[in-house]
Structures are given as structure tokens and as C-alpha cells.
Structure 1
Amino acid sequence: MDYLPEDNSRYKDVDYWDERYKTEQCYDWLGGFSKFQHLLEKNVKKEDSILIIGCGNSSMSSDMYSTGFHSITNIDYSSVCISTMSARHSDCPGMSWHQMDVRQLSFPDASFDVVLEKATLDAIMVGEKSPWGVSPETACFIDKALTEISRCLKPGGRFVSVTFADPFFRKRLYAKTDYNWSIKKYSYGEGLEYFVYVMTKGEELSPEDAALEKKLLEESKGQPTRVSTYQHEDEEDFMSNIDL
């Protein structure tokens, strides 16, 4: 694949994405919107205000718009991406595009009914070498992002995360009392299974997820900071594996 970086750590580099978006027209990680539309429509209303983080050049926003979701704010940290996508969808009233870092969202508290990400967190973590943990730097990045996402959700709002990471690994990131949300898990796909996690702001963690958080806190005492995440030792073929 022409756009595969020489090293997976480049997925964190905005320069890599700027160069890629100069020529790549569209890419949908984890399949197109139609693959998980039935799950999204169970948890997101057409009238909800939606923030899509790490929008990239995916067709997801326009596909959602065409099915009736008309209040969509898109962010990406690539200025090339935002410029291109804004021009491409200038005929969609209610759809906006902003260059922004998910760790420093410039929106007021409780701005959105829904925050949605598809493979954005996967891309951030794909360079990690161990299937059992991420570096302290990446752990800090993810925590800042999730803290900002929680801050921007309205009471009762939902953070929807679409990912290839199964519950054993991904719940270890999301099951944290400080984020003030509950967690539900869905899945889709044939052959390759992908997951949709829905975190609802203002609801408590289930007893199972609360026990997981407690266990992880106990394990971290006296040990270097490592946060378990996902299941593949080396994701150099990540981009091809996640096509549906």
C-alpha cells in the first residue's frame, strides 16, 4: 500500500498525514459507515450535536450527513485534511471542519451530545511494540484525549469509539471513574470482528468494569506506568488488516 509509513510510529506524526492527505482522496479504516450504521443509530439521534475526532479523509461524515445527521463538527490535526474536506463538503449546512488536537479541544464544557472516533486511537497506539502495554508517553496522550472528550460531552452524552481492539485490551483504557461514564460493547464484521464501545456520560461503571479499574490500579502500584491496550505484536500490516 503506497501510504504505509516506513515505521508505525509515524502514525503519530502530523507531517506524515499532511503529506498523505495531499494525494489520497479517501480512506475508511475499519470499513465504511454502512458496516456499523445499525449500531450507531441505536445510540445516536439524528438531531444530536456530534463531534468527530480524527476525521481524516473518511467518507463517514458525508455518509452520516446523507442519512440525516446534520449537526456534525469534524476535527483533525492535519491542516491539509481540514482544508480539503472543508472545500469538498462546502454544500453541507451544519457540517463544520476545524484543525484541532484532541488533547486540547477548544470547545466549552458540555458542548456535544455525541463524540465519535473511528480508528483514531488505534492509529495513535499502533506503533507500540508490546501487546500488553503502551509507553508512558502514549498512555498520557490517551488519558488527555479521553479527559477532553468527557469534558466536552453533555450529561447523558455518548462517546462512541469504533476500533479493532477487543474488550480485554480496550476496556483497560476506558474503565476509569474519572471519565464519569459507563461502557457498553457491540461488534460488527464478518471474518474480522470490529468493536463499537459506547460510553455514556454521568452513568457509573458496571461492577465488572469498576473491578477492572481497581485491579489495574493495584497492579500499577510500585510498577512502571504501562497501560494494556491491544492484541497484535506488530501492526505493520494494520492498514490492510482493517479493510472490510
Structure 2
Amino acid sequence: MEHLPSHNSLYNDKDYWDERYRIEDSFDWFGDLSSFKHLLDPHIGSADRVLVLGCGNSTLSFDLYCSGFTSITNIDYSSVCISTMAAKHPNCPGLEWYQMDARKLSFSDSCFDVVLEKGTLDAMIADERDPWNVSPETAKTLQCILKEVSRVLCPGGRFVSITFSQPHFRKRHYARRELDWSIQHYSYGSGFHYFMYVMTKGEPLSPQDSELEDKLLKATCPSLTSCLEGSDSEDYLNNIEL
């Protein structure tokens, strides 16, 4: 891909994204809406109030708008991205654009029916070398974002996360009782598969996901750190199909 960074750490660099958005017209991680619409449709309706985290220059929001969605709020921490996307879609009532940090959303509690992210969390952990054990800083960032997502979701609302990350890697971040949601996951694609996770606010974790959380909590205790020993480390970023 033409705009690949020289190092994965740049995925966390605002200047990198600002410059990329100045020169790149559009890019969709993990395919456009048509790639996973069949999985998304049962969990989202055109009247839903939708928040898109880290919208970037993806066509996703405009494609949803063209499909009949009437309330789509887009945020990105790059002001260049937001100004460019707002200028690109000037006559689309209900399609709104805000520069904002996903770690501190400027929205009231329970104000969205759906929060949607596609590749945003992947970019935030792109510099991690071991998906089994991300750094404390990255783990804190992810949990901060997930708490904000849970806060702005209304009861029965859905958080939809689209990623290349397999369940044994990603569920360890999503399976938290404090987030007050259940977890389902699906896959799509041929050859290399991508994953869609749907978290439903107000539904309990399954027994298996509750067990996963308990296991991970025990693993944080010094005397029980052997819980995850023997896990393979891998440079999982090599699997991203750009």
C-alpha cells in the first residue's frame, strides 16, 4: 500500500495520520461495507443513532448513509481527516463529523444505539509485538476507550468491532463484566479471514467469557502468572492484508 508507515509505531502518531489524510483520498481496512453487510444487517437498523469511532477516510459512513441511515456521527482525532470528510460530504443531513479523542468522548450517557469501529483499535495496538500480552499502557488505553463506548451506548445498544484479530486475542479485552455487555463474533472473507464482534449492552457475558475474564484476572496476580505460560508469541501484524 502506498501510504504504509515506515514503522508500526507511527500508527499511534497523529502527525502521520494528518499527513496521510492530506494526500490519500480513501482507504478501507478489511473491506468496504459490502464485504460484511450480511453480518451487520441483523444488528443495526437505519433508524439507529450510530457513532463511528476513528472514521478515517473510509467510505463506510457514506455507504451507510446511502443505504438509508439517517443519524451517523463520525469522530476522528485527526482534524485534517474531519475537515476533509466534512468537505467531501457537505449536503448529507444526519452525517456529522467531529474531531475527538475516543478515550474521552464528549457525548452524554446512553445516547447511541450503535457504536461502530473498523480497524481503529487495531491501529492503536499496531506496535505491540505479543498479542497475548500487550503492554500495560496499551491495555489501559483500550479499556479507557471500551468504558467510554459502554457509557454512551443505550440499554440494548450494540458495539460493533471489525478487525483482523482472532477471538483468542480480542476477547481478552472485551470480556469484562464492568462493560456490561455480551459478546458474539463472526468471520468473513476468503483466504484470510476478518472478524466482526457484536457486544450488546445490558446482556451478561456467556459462562465461557466470564471464565475467560476470571482466568485473566488471576493471571495478573504475581503468584499466578503461569496461567498464560506456553502461549506462542507472534508478529501478528504480518497477517494484516493491506
TM-score by length of structure 1 reads 0.93
Q: Deviations over 1:37-57 (max 9, x none)?
A: 111111001100000000000
Q: 5 Å matches for 1:1-244?
A: 1-222=1-222, 232-233=234-235, 235=237, 237=238, 241-243=240-242
Q: CA RMSD in A?
A: 1.8
Query: Aligned equivalents of 2:192 and 2:173: distance in 1?
Result: 22
Partners of 1:165 and 1:231 within 8 A in 2: no
Q: Deviations over 1:88-112 (max 9, x none)?
A: 1111110100000000000000010
Partners of 2:73 and 2:95 within 8 A in 1: yes
- The alignment partner of 1:113 has SS state of strand
Query: Aligned equivalents of 2:223 and 2:169: distance in 1?
Result: 19
Partners of 2:52 and 2:72 within 8 A in 1: yes
Letter of the aligned partner of 2:35 in structure 1? Answer: K
Letter of the aligned partner of 2:13 in structure 1? Answer: D
- The alignment partner of 1:102 has SS state of coil
Query: Aligned equivalents of 1:232 and 1:188: distance in 2?
Result: 22
Query: Aligned equivalents of 1:223 and 1:81: distance in 2?
Result: 46
Higher mean C-alpha displacement, 73-82 vs 216-225: 216-225
Instruction: State the shift of 1:21 in Å.
Output: 0.3
- The alignment partner of 1:36 has SS state of helix
Query: Aligned equivalents of 2:96 and 2:233: distance in 1?
Result: 35
Instruction: State the shift of 1:131 in Å.
Output: 3.2
Runs of 4+ in 1 over 4 A off after TM superposition: none
Instruction: State the shift of 1:234 in Å.
Output: 5.3
- The alignment partner of 2:11 has SS state of helix
Q: Mind listing any 5+ residue stretches in structure 1 that lack a counterpart? A: none
Letter of the aligned partner of 2:158 in structure 1? Answer: R
- The alignment partner of 1:3 has SS state of coil
Cα 1:7–1:208, aligned 2, differ >3 Å: closer, same or farther? same
| Larger RCO of the pair (alpha carbons < 8 Å, separation 6+) | 1
- The alignment partner of 2:222 has SS state of coil
Instruction: State the shift of 1:6 in Å.
Output: 1.4
